[in-house]
Structure 1
Amino acid sequence: MKNFKIIAFLSGISIVISCGSSKSQLPEIKPDLITEHVKYDTDDPAIWINPEDASQSIVFGTDKESDGAIYAFDLNGKIIASKTIRGIQRPNNVDLRYNFPVTDSTTTDIIAFTERERKMLRIYSVPDMKPLDGGGFPVFADDNNPNIDFQSPMGVSLYKSAIDSSFYAIVGRKSGPLENYLYQYKITTKSDSLVGFDLVRKFGQFSGKKEIEAIAVDDAMGFIYYSDEGDGIKKYFAEPDKGNEQVSSFGFADFQNDIEGIAIATYEDGTGFLIVSDQQRGQFNIYDRKTNAFIKALNLTTTETDGCDVVTVPLNSTFKNGLFVAMNDDGTFYFYDLAKLK
C-alpha cells in the first residue's frame, strides 16, 4: 500500500501533510539501469530466464490500471512491444514457472497474473505470450461476502512441487477474512491445450491491520511466504497435504510501516536469502533463506517499492551475478546486478 500527501488550504495558505516515506539513511546503492516508463503505475515484476540464451531473458512487470498491461522489458530496460500483454483490467501481481505440460508431449513456460477488476487469474505461455486460460479463471468465487474487495485478487505466486511436479497458484485478495485469506489452486492440463484450475485449500491468517499482497514461494524448500503488511512475514507449507498451520511469523520489528514485496534468492547448495521491501523507509531487509534470521538492510534508492524479483544465474556482462528487479513509484523498474545486494 503506497502512501500519499494531503493538501489543505487555510486562509489562502496551502499546507502539505505528508503521509509518505521516511527515506533510508543507509548508504545508497544505485541501480545498473532503469527501465523505460510504463503508461500508468508499476507494481510487480517477474524475471524469465531464456533457456537458450540468458542474455535474451525478459523482465515482465505489471502496469496497474483499468487499461493496464503486463510489460515486457529486455535486459537494457527497453520495452519489448511484441511480448507486452495490453488491455488488462488492473493487473496487480505477476509470477512465472518453467516447463508446464500443456499436452502429454509438450511443455511451455507460463506466466500468471491477477486481473483485479475482472476478478480473474490469468495464465499465458512464455515466450510466445498466448493465453492458456480461455479468458481467465474466476477466483474467490465461493466467497459471498458483500464487500467486493473479498473477491478482488491482488497477490499471486506460482509453486511447482518438488515432490510430484504439480503446479499451483496461491492467490491473495484486496481484503479478506482473518482466516483463509489465501486460496491455493492446482493448475491442470486440459485436453484442448488450455489450463484448468482446482481449488485445493484455503489458508492463511490475516491480522486485519492493512492487507496481504506480496506472496513468494520457495519451491525447493516447500515454503510459502507472504507479507501481512502491518504484522509480519508469515510462513506456511506449500504442499497442501502438509496442513494449514502457520510455520512462523517474523520481521515485524524490522519495518517502519508496510511490509511489501518478497523475492527469494536461491542457490543449488541450499543457501540463499529473502529480500523484502520496507516500503515507507525506502529500503530492503535481507533474511537468511534457511533460518529466516535478519541479516542486514540495504538502501537501493527506490521509492515506495511494492513488488520485486530475483534470479541468481548470470545473464549478461551487466548482470554477471544474477539480477534483482524492484518497482519504483515513478512508473519504472530498477535493475541491479545481484552482487550489489551481498
Structure 2
Amino acid sequence: MVRLLKTETPEVRPVVRTMPLPDDADDPAIWTHPRDPRLSLILGTNKARAPRGAIGVFDLSGRMLQRIDGIDQPNNIDVAYGFALGRERVDIAVATERYASRLRIFRIDPARRRLVDITDPNGARVFAGESGERAMPMGLALYQAGRGEVQAIVSRKSGPKRGYLHQYRLVPTRGGRVGVQLVRAFGAFSGEGEIEAICVDSELGYVYYADEGVGIRKYYADPRHPEREIALFATEYEGDQEGIAIYAPPDGAGYLLCTEQIEGGSKLHIYPRFGVQRKPILTLRTGADETDGLDASAHNFGAPFEKGLVVAMNSEGRNFWLYRWADIERELERRVR
C-alpha cells in the first residue's frame, strides 16, 4: 500500500514485519530458494557483543526459524550463490564479526532452510596488521566474480582516506571450511563519520558504498580495473547515507535503492541502475525507524511478493520490514505518467 502525506512525498507501508531480535537489529539479506521461492529466507544480524550477538533466519511471513548466537557483534550480512566449495557449488551467507576481526561464513542448507557455520576461525581474519577500530569489520557485500568465485568487499569502523575498503577472495581450506585471501585495498574516505553500507551489482560490475554524511561512492568491483571513483552522488541527504540495494529484474533494467537514515521514518531514494546516478527518480517514506540495512530482490516469491520485495531494518522494533515491490512500482509508474 502507498499513501501520500501532506508533504506529497509518498509513503510505502510494509506488508510483513519479522519477529524482533533481542538487542539491536542491523542488516538484512534475502536468500532465494533454488526450487521454491516461497521457501526463501530473510537473514538479519543482531548487533551485540558475544554471546548475545546473533544472526536470525526468518521465513517470508516474518517467523524466526533459526538463531545463531555467540557472534561477537555482527554488523552486515550478504549472500552469494554457487560458491565452489571443493566439488560442490553451494549458496553461502557471510557476515562481519567486529570484535573478532573476521568474517563468519555459513553454508545455506536449502532442504532444512538453515545456516551451517563453515568459517575457518583463523583463516577468515581481516585487516591483518591493523589494531583498534581499524581492525574492526563492519560493512560487507559479496561480489560474484564468476566460475564459482566469490569475493567479499569489507569496510571497517575507522580507516584511512585511501584504501578504507579491503577486498578478499573466499577460499576453501581444510575440512570444508572457508577462509579469505586479500585481493586489494581501495576506496576513498572523506574522514567524516564512517563507511558501513556497501552493495555490489555483480552483473554490471560496480560496487557502491556510503561515505556517511557525504554521499555514495561508485567504483568498479573487479580488481582488474584501474582504481578510480566513477561517481559520487546522494550528497544532498539530511540524514546519513545508509543501506544500499539493487533491484534487478530479468529484463535487464532495474534500480539502485538507497536509504536516508531518519529517526521515526527513514526515506528510500530510488535511482536508475544503468547510466549516471545524479538525482533520485523517486523518494519514498518507509515508516521504518533509523534504517541501517537494506536489501531487495526482483524474484517472484508468490503472494504478496509476486514482483519482488524490499527489506529494511527497523531500529525501534529491532526487526525487519518487508515491502511489496508492486507498491513501489505503482508509484514509479504514477510519476512517469
TM-score, normalised with respect to structure 2: 0.89
Equivalent of 1:262, from 244, 248, 253? 244
After TM superposition, list the pairs within 5 Å mapping 1:1-342 onto structure 2: 26-66=9-49, 67-81=52-66, 84-103=67-86, 105-127=87-109, 128-135=114-121, 137-143=124-130, 148-162=132-146, 164-190=147-173, 192-253=175-236, 255-280=237-262, 282-291=266-275, 292-293=277-278, 294-330=280-316, 331-342=318-329
Give the Å deviation of 1:25: 6.8
Residues 285-323 of structure 1 show CA distances to partners (whole Å, capped at 9, x for unaligned) of 111001224211001111100001011011021111101
Residues 248-297 of structure 1 show CA distances to partners (whole Å, capped at 9, x for unaligned) of 111101x1121000011112332111111110262111110012242110
Question: 2:295·2:312 contact (CA, 8 Å) conserved in 1?
Answer: yes
Long gaps (5+) in structure 1: 1-22
Q: What secondary structure is seen at the aligned counterpart in 1 of 2:134?
A: helix
Question: 1:47·1:58 contact (CA, 8 Å) conserved in 2?
Answer: yes
Structure 1 CA distance for aligned equivalents of residues 129 and 247 of structure 2: 35
Give the Å deviation of 1:165: 4.5
Give the Å deviation of 1:189: 2.6
Give the Å deviation of 1:118: 1.1
Long gaps (5+) in structure 2: 1-5, 330-337
Aligned partner letter, 1:296: L
Question: 1:24·1:282 contact (CA, 8 Å) conserved in 2?
Answer: no
Bigger CA radius of gyration: 1
Structure 2 CA distance for aligned equivalents of residues 153 and 283 of structure 1: 26
Structure 2 CA distance for aligned equivalents of residues 182 and 158 of structure 1: 13
Structure 1 CA distance for aligned equivalents of residues 293 and 117 of structure 2: 23
Structure 1 CA distance for aligned equivalents of residues 194 and 243 of structure 2: 13
Question: 1:326·1:333 contact (CA, 8 Å) conserved in 2?
Answer: yes
Aligned partner letter, 1:236: Y
Give the Å deviation of 1:192: 3.1
Structure 2 CA distance for aligned equivalents of residues 110 and 72 of structure 1: 13
Structure 1 CA distance for aligned equivalents of residues 148 and 63 of structure 2: 34
Residues 175-230 of structure 1 show CA distances to partners (whole Å, capped at 9, x for unaligned) of 11111000000112335322231101000100011110000000000000000011
Q: What secondary structure is seen at the aligned counterpart in 1 of 2:224?
A: helix
Question: 1:44·1:93 contact (CA, 8 Å) conserved in 2?
Answer: yes
Question: 1:156·1:214 contact (CA, 8 Å) conserved in 2?
Answer: yes
Question: 2:297·2:308 contact (CA, 8 Å) conserved in 1?
Answer: yes
Segments of 4+ moved more than 3 angstroms: none
Aligned pairs, number: 312
Q: What secondary structure is seen at the aligned counterpart in 1 of 2:159?
A: coil
Question: 1:302·1:327 contact (CA, 8 Å) conserved in 2?
Answer: yes
* CA RMSD, 1 decimal: 1.6
Q: What secondary structure is seen at the aligned counterpart in 1 of 2:99?
A: helix
Residues 147-178 of structure 1 show CA distances to partners (whole Å, capped at 9, x for unaligned) of x111111000110125x542100000011111
Residues 37-73 of structure 1 show CA distances to partners (whole Å, capped at 9, x for unaligned) of 1101111000000111111111000010112111011
Per mean C-alpha deviation after superposition, the further-off stretch among 111-120 and 24-33 is 24-33
Per mean C-alpha deviation after superposition, the further-off stretch among 68-77 and 243-252 is 243-252
Give the Å deviation of 1:333: 0.6
Give the Å deviation of 1:33: 1.3
